[in-house]
Every structure is written in C-alpha cells, then in structure tokens.
Structure 1
Amino acid sequence: MNIRPDAARMKRELGELVAINSENPPGGEGAVAQWARERLASLGFEVKLIEYAPARFNVEARLVNGPGPVFAFNTHMDTVPAGNGWTSDAFTLTERDGRLYGRGSCDCKGPLAAMIEAARMLVAERQAWSGTLMVVFTGDEEVASAGARHYAASRPEIDAVVVGEPTGNACFSAHKGSFRPVVRITGKAAHSGSPHLGDNAIFRAGQLMPLLAAFHDDVLAQRSHPLVGNPSLTVTRIKGGHADNVIPAECELLLDRRLIPGETDASAEAEIRALLAEAERTHGIRAEIVGYHATTGGATDTPETAPVVQAAVAACRAAGVAEAGPFGFQGACDLVHFIEAGAEGVVIGAGDIRVAHRPDEFVPADEFVASAAIYADIARRILAA
C-alpha cells in the first residue's frame, strides 16, 4: 500500500519556506536552495547547488534506483514581492478556514514542499519503482526564468517532468508564452508654443495604438489553440517626453505579445515589424523595435498521448480531482525550457493562479496535502518497476 503524505510535516515545512524571503526582484533564492539541499541530501539524493549567476542558485538532486526512465519534479524557489494589503504577515504561514496564507503558499513554495514530501514517499518505497528520480528547483521564474534557461542549456537527460504551479491539482499540458518588445516612435522636437513646427511622437504613438489593437482583433484573435485559446497583443507601458514645454521627439511603447504553441519570438517579431512598416507607409508613423523586456519564455504543449500526460491525468482522477484535464495554462512557466531540453512534461499544483500574486495569497490545505500524493503517484506510474 502506498505511503500517504504527512500533513502536519508538510504544513510545518511550508511554514519554514514561507518564512524565507525570496522575493524577486531581487531574487534571494539561496536560503531556499540550502533548505532544499539539506532535506534532499538526508533522503539519499546526490544534491548539487548550481550557481547560475552571482548568489543565484538552482538545485539539482538525483536518486538512481535501478534501470528505467529519468523522471523529474520541478518548481521555482522565488516569489513575487509581498507588497501591501495583507491581513496577516506575508512571511508567516497562517491557517484559517481551511486555507494556508503566506507569500509563496501556492506560487510556488506549496508545490516545492509537496514535491519534497513526494520524494520522501518514493524513497520509502523504492522497491515499487525503478529508474532515476530527480528534483530540480530553479530560480528567477518570476522575472526571466534565468535559472531554468541556464539549467536547460546543460541539456539534462530527463524523460518526463512535472512542473509545480497552481492548477487546482488538475493536469495542464500546454501553456502560453510571452514576448515583450520595446517600440520607439520617432517625431520631431519643437517649442510647445509652436507645435506645428514639430512632429509630436506621443500623438504618433496614439495613431499607432489603434493599429496594434486592430491587429489583435483582426489577426491574432482569429487564431486558436485547443487548450490555451488565442494569442494576444496589447500595450502595457508608455514613456514619452522630457520637458513640459517641448514637443516630444520620442515615445516608447512596451508591447505584450502572448504566444500560443506553434508561435515563436521570431515569428511574433516578424509580424510586428511588418505592422510597423505598414504604419509608416500608410500613416507616416516612424516606429521601430529598439529593445526587449525579459519574459519567462515561449509557449509549449505536450501531446495528450504522451505517457506523462496519461499518467498525470490518471493520478489526478485517482485523487478525486473532478476535472482532471488536460488543460492549457494561460500564463507562462518553466515547462517550456524542460521541453526544449528534450523532456515531455505537464504542470500540476495545488491552489489557484488567480490569487498567486495578490495580497493574502493562499493554498487550500486539503489540496496542498493531496498534491504530494498526486506527484508521487505520477512518478510511480512513469517509473513502474
């Protein structure tokens, strides 16, 4: 009979993790990495801390248990900043009404604690599975996935991966990506008392924005992926002007282009460049891409027929998840980088992504405990002896 998760221990360890401030920025994952190394090493894993940037770490733990596939648990160690508006201390795990409150409780220290518990369960029943079990915790997911990108670049040999993110314990086998170019619109400076002598770059940006919106409505909204839906294009930041009495010669827009599987940064950029060229031909708007903001990465999907998807859906159903999936994740996450490295994978975790970055972030306690059992069940199905 399979060993069950220890709910009290899981809550205690989640409390320890929440108490470690790993807000990103600036990204202080080092203490979380040390915490994870101690626990995984005590279970018999060979553990390495990988410094991918000064004082920034990934954790790689490996346990070889006979011949078979290589299966990995992955989630990230950083959180978004706590911010204001909390009704309890963001760095003290607080349980009330069946919920566990604290920054990172569902994104993603809850999955991290649950994966540690799942690893314990699997170590305790090594006779029931064969292969290599890995636990990989990465840094910087909340900004640019620098940790996962660095790890994937080493081409780790992983056959299947479960990435922990809040999904209500359902199986998500696809996710969107994001691409954020900076577009500079160029005008001509002049004294604001004689605006006709200049070319107002902010006005020109105002002309460009309806063209961007039309491209979203007329082109992107007509595309669709069965699990993640439509791609999108919008403006999330604008910057222009340098003095109160000067017609601005430049204005910059930050575009947020959400990608669906099959689209890439390169393909999205080519479309935006074509749109800007058409804006200049038809409206005289001079605009160009001058830079990029960091993102978590591209879009990806794993076929429903893949063994890890089949195992994950079966494990979710066995745990009583009413709608087990597979579904599509609207946000981006580190799964894409593991797939680019050659693995197949899914995203599963307790909690609701809609509360993840807000004050009073929480994870339902029952879901949290159940997620450890789901993780262990998926591993058993992939690593069946």
Structure 2
Amino acid sequence: MKQTPDLDRMKRDLAALIAMPSENPPGHEAQVADYVAACLKPLGFVITRDEYEAGRVNIEARLDNGPGPVFALNTHMDVVPAGTGWQHDPFTMTEEGGRLYGRGSSDCKGSLVCMMEAGRMLAADRAEWRGTLLLVFVADEEVASVGARRYVTTAPHIDYVIVGEPTSNTTYAAHKGSLRPLVRVHGTPAHSGTPDLGDNAIYRAAALVNMVAAEHADVVRHIDHPLVGAASLTITRASGGHADNVVPQGCELLLDRRMVPGEDEEAVKAQIASLLARANAQAGVRAEIVEFRPTTGGAVETPADHVIVQQGLAVCRANGVAEPGPFGFQGACDLVHFCNAGAAGVVIGPGVLSVAHKADEYVPEADLPVAACIYRDMVIALMPV
C-alpha cells in the first residue's frame, strides 16, 4: 500500500522554510539547503552540497534503489524580494481561509516541501519502484538560473525530471524563454543652450523606441505557440543623459524579448541586430548591444505524446485535477536546462501562478498533499519494479 502524505508535517516544513529569507538578490540559500539535508539524510538519502559562492548553495539528495531510470524532482530555494504592500508578515507563515501565506509559499517553497514529502514516502516504500531518485534543489532561479546551469554540467544522466513551479497541480509541458539585450544609443554632447551643435541621444533613442514597438506589433507577436502563446518584444528600462545642462551623449534601453519553443536563440539575436541596423539606415540611430543581461534561459517544449507528459496528465487526473493540461508557462523556469542536458520533463507544482511575486503570496493548503501524491505517483509510474 502506498504511503500517504503528512499534511501537518508539510505545513511545519513550509513554515520553517518561509522563515528563512532566501530573497534573491542576494539569495543565501544555504540555510534552506541545510534544512533539507537534515530532513532527508536520516531517511537514507546521500547528500551532496555544492556551495559555489558564499551562501549560494545547490543541494542534491540521492536515493539509489536498484537498477532503473534516474528521476529528478527539482525546484529552487530562492525567492523574489518580499517588497511592500503585505497584509501578512512575509516571513511568517499565516494560515487563513484555507490559504498558507508567506513569501515563497507558492514560488517555490510549496513545491519543495511536497517534493521532500514525496521523497519520504518513496524512501519508506522502496518495493513500489526501482531506479535512482534525485531531489535537486537549486539556487538563483529567480535571476539567472546559475544554480541549475551549474548543476546539469556535473549531474548524472537524468531520464525524467519534474520541475516544481506553481501550476495548480496541472501539467505544463512548455515554457517561454527570454533575452534581455542592453542597447546603448550614441549621440554627440553639446551645451544645452546650443543643442543644435550636438546630436541628442534621447531623441535618437525615441526613434528606436518606435521601431521596437513596430517590430513587436508587426512581426514578433505573430510568432505563436499553442501552449505558451505569442512571443514578445518590449522595453523595460530607459536611461539617458549625465548632466542637467548637457545634450545627452548616450541613452540606454533594456529590451525584453520573450521566445517561444522552436525559436533559435542565435537567430533571435540576429533579428535584434538587424533591427538596430535598420534603425541606423532609416533614422540615423547609432546603437549597439552592450551586453545581454542574465535571464533564466531559453524556451523548451516536451512533446505532448512523450510518456512523461502523458503520465503527468493521467496522474494529475487520478489525483483529482479536473483539467490536467497540458499547458504552457508564459514565463521561464529551470526545465530548459535539464532538457538541454538530456532529460525529458514537465512542470507541476502546488500554488497559484497569479499570486507569485506579489504581496500576500499564498499556496492553497489543499494543494500540498495532492502535489506530494502526484510526485510520488509519477516516480512509481515511470520507475516500475
């Protein structure tokens, strides 16, 4: 008989993890990693702790159970900064109306406690499955996915992965990716009393802004994907000038390009470079890409007929999820890095995506045991005896 989740224990775990402020920046996931190790090591998991910078830690808990596939349950230990506007203490779990409030409750410490609980159940009932189970909890997903990128370079071959993100316990088989080029527009400085002697970089940037908007409207938003929707191109930051009485010599624009599965990252970079070349030819805009700012990574899709997607739908449905998917993330997550390393994966987790990154973030209490059972049953289904 399958083990069942202990909701009270899961809530204690979640309360403990919420109280650990692993806000990124700066991260400081070490305390979370040490808590995970203390919970799982007594159950027979072999713990590997990788502190790649001071306080920045990946942790792997490995349970070998005979020959068979390698299955990873992965999520991240960092959270976005708490910010303002909370009606509840962001670092004290508050129970109210069937909801568990706190920063990270949905994104992604709820997934983490459910994966730990699934690990406990699977460790207690090894007759139900065969292979190697990995619980992989990484740093820095919210900024640049340094943790996941680093982990997959030295990880063993992984056959299957479930990445925990708030999906309301449905199956997501695809997610978007992102590029953030920082573009510098050049001008010629002059005294602001004689502006005609200079070339105002902000005016030049304004012409480029209009071309970026047109590129999104006419081209990019028509690149569509059935699960994640349309690609996009927008500007999220602008900064120009260096003195109140000087015609600006420079203006910087941060572009945000969201890619859909099937788009090639190098081809997208070439399209952005082509846009800057057209701006120069048509409007005299002298612009260059200074750098590509760190992002979570590229887009990915696991085919709908793949066994892990089909099992995800079946297991979610069997655990009471009426519409299990498959769906797609508008944002990005660490799935792409595991897939690039050869794993097949999906994204499943407790919590409501619409409240992630917001004040009064919460996870529905009822989501937790369901998610733990989904993780348990996915391992059993794909790692048969």
**TM-score, structure 2 as length reference:** 0.98
Aligned to 1:103: 103
Q: What's the secondary structure of 2:366's corresponding residue?
A: helix
Deviation at 1:155, TM superposition (A): 4.6
Deviation at 1:53, TM superposition (A): 2.4
8 Å contact from structure 2 (residues 311, 378) kept in 1: yes
Deviation at 1:310, TM superposition (A): 1.3
User: What whole-Å deviation, never above 9, does each CA across 1:268-313 have from its counterpart, x for those lacking one?
Assistant: 1100000110111111111110112110111001111211111111
Unaligned runs of 5+ in 2: none
Which residue identity does 1:328 align to in structure 2?
G
**Which moved further from structure 2: 262-271 or 362-371?**
262-271
Unaligned runs of 5+ in 1: none
C-alpha distance in structure 2 between counterparts of 1:121 and 1:61, whole Å: 14
C-alpha distance in structure 2 between counterparts of 1:6 and 1:264, whole Å: 44
8 Å contact from structure 1 (residues 178, 256) kept in 2: yes
**Which moved further from structure 2: 85-94 or 168-177?**
85-94
**Which moved further from structure 2: 214-223 or 105-114?**
214-223
1:90 equivalenced with 2:90 (yes/no): yes
Q: What's the secondary structure of 1:311's corresponding residue?
A: helix
Q: What's the secondary structure of 1:310's corresponding residue?
A: helix
1:340 equivalenced with 2:340 (yes/no): yes
C-alpha distance in structure 1 between counterparts of 2:179 and 2:155, whole Å: 23
Count of residue pairs the alignment pairs up: 385
Aligned to 1:156: 156
C-alpha distance in structure 2 between counterparts of 1:55 and 1:115, whole Å: 22
Aligned to 1:173: 173
Aligned to 1:55: 55
Deviation at 1:156, TM superposition (A): 2.7
8 Å contact from structure 1 (residues 69, 159) kept in 2: yes
Deviation at 1:17, TM superposition (A): 0.5
Which residue identity does 2:184 align to in structure 1?
R
Matches within 5 A, 1:246-325: 246-325=246-325
RMSD: 0.9
User: What whole-Å deviation, never above 9, does each CA across 1:326-346 have from its counterpart, x for those lacking one?
Assistant: 111111000000001110000
Aligned to 1:119: 119
C-alpha distance in structure 1 between counterparts of 2:41 and 2:308, whole Å: 26
User: What whole-Å deviation, never above 9, does each CA across 1:93-117 have from its counterpart, x for those lacking one?
Assistant: 1100000000110111000000000
Deviation at 1:353, TM superposition (A): 1.6
Which residue identity does 1:255 align to in structure 2?
L
Aligned to 1:70: 70
C-alpha distance in structure 2 between counterparts of 1:132 and 1:202, whole Å: 57
8 Å contact from structure 1 (residues 184, 289) kept in 2: yes
1:33 equivalenced with 2:33 (yes/no): yes
C-alpha distance in structure 1 between counterparts of 2:224 and 2:352, whole Å: 24
Q: What's the secondary structure of 2:106's corresponding residue?
A: coil
Q: What's the secondary structure of 1:236's corresponding residue?
A: strand
Aligned to 1:352: 352
User: What whole-Å deviation, never above 9, does each CA across 1:170-194 have from its counterpart, x for those lacking one?
Assistant: 0001000010000011111111111
Aligned to 2:220: 220
C-alpha distance in structure 1 between counterparts of 2:56 and 2:47, whole Å: 16
Deviation at 1:263, TM superposition (A): 1.8
8 Å contact from structure 2 (residues 27, 55) kept in 1: no
Matches within 5 A, 1:326-337: 326-337=326-337
Which residue identity does 1:338 align to in structure 2?
F
1:208 equivalenced with 2:208 (yes/no): yes
C-alpha distance in structure 1 between counterparts of 2:93 and 2:55, whole Å: 26
Which residue identity does 1:61 align to in structure 2?
A
8 Å contact from structure 2 (residues 19, 91) kept in 1: yes
Deviation at 1:224, TM superposition (A): 1.0
Deviation at 1:227, TM superposition (A): 0.8
User: What whole-Å deviation, never above 9, does each CA across 1:9-47 have from its counterpart, x for those lacking one?
Assistant: 111110011111111101110000000111111110111
Which residue identity does 1:249 align to in structure 2?
Q
C-alpha distance in structure 2 between counterparts of 1:85 and 1:154, whole Å: 41
Q: What's the secondary structure of 1:215's corresponding residue?
A: helix
Matches within 5 A, 1:125-136: 125-136=125-136
Which residue identity does 2:69 align to in structure 1?
P
C-alpha distance in structure 1 between counterparts of 2:41 and 2:363, whole Å: 27
1:195 equivalenced with 2:195 (yes/no): yes
Which residue identity does 1:332 align to in structure 2?
A
Aligned to 2:2: 2
8 Å contact from structure 1 (residues 156, 341) kept in 2: no
Deviation at 1:264, TM superposition (A): 3.4
Which residue identity does 1:34 align to in structure 2?
D
Write out the 4+ residue segments of structure 1 that deviate beyond 6 Å after TM superposition.
none
Q: What's the secondary structure of 1:10's corresponding residue?
A: helix
